[in-house]
Amino acid sequence: MELYQRVGGWPHVARIPRWFDEGVAVVVAGETRHSEANRREIQTRGIPAPALAELVSRSDWNAALIKYGETHLEDPGNLHAVYSAAAHELSNWLACAAPAGAAALLTAVSEGGAFDSAYQRIGGNCAPMK
């Protein structure tokens, strides 16, 4: 809800990729099941993970949850590749942009700026979008 309020409501939220929205939720919550260690385990096991381009709209996100097998989130064997991909991208970006950068990004979007260009400008090349 904080993200929605900061960008000026529903019309602006639709311009924010779903991976960013969900990534914020996961990072803020400190979800250990979507941690960097979890992401490394996904890679070690060769479990397919989505590219950010697959996670832009709400329908993209829901399709990815089905495609990558995250419809049963309580399954202890499920490593949550979709949520982990969003958390990984956002964690890396925040390491460069810091909380002030996140606030600047949301302000840019609320003022009509394009998400992708603001994200790159504020976060630099530290965590390029894939």
Instruction: Give per-residue pLDDT as tens, 99-123.
Output: 899 999 999 999 999 999 999 999 8
Residue 76: left (phi > 0), alpha (psi -120 to 50), or beta? alpha
Question: What amino acid occupies position 37?
Answer: A
Instruction: Give per-residue pLDDT as tens, 23-77.
Output: 998 888 888 888 888 899 999 999 999 999 999 999 999 999 999 988 765 666 7
Instruction: Give per-residue pLDDT as tens, 83-95.
Output: 999 999 999 899 8
The reported pTM is 0.87
Structure tokens at 1: 């809800």
- 26 closest CA partner among 102, 87, 103, 106: 87
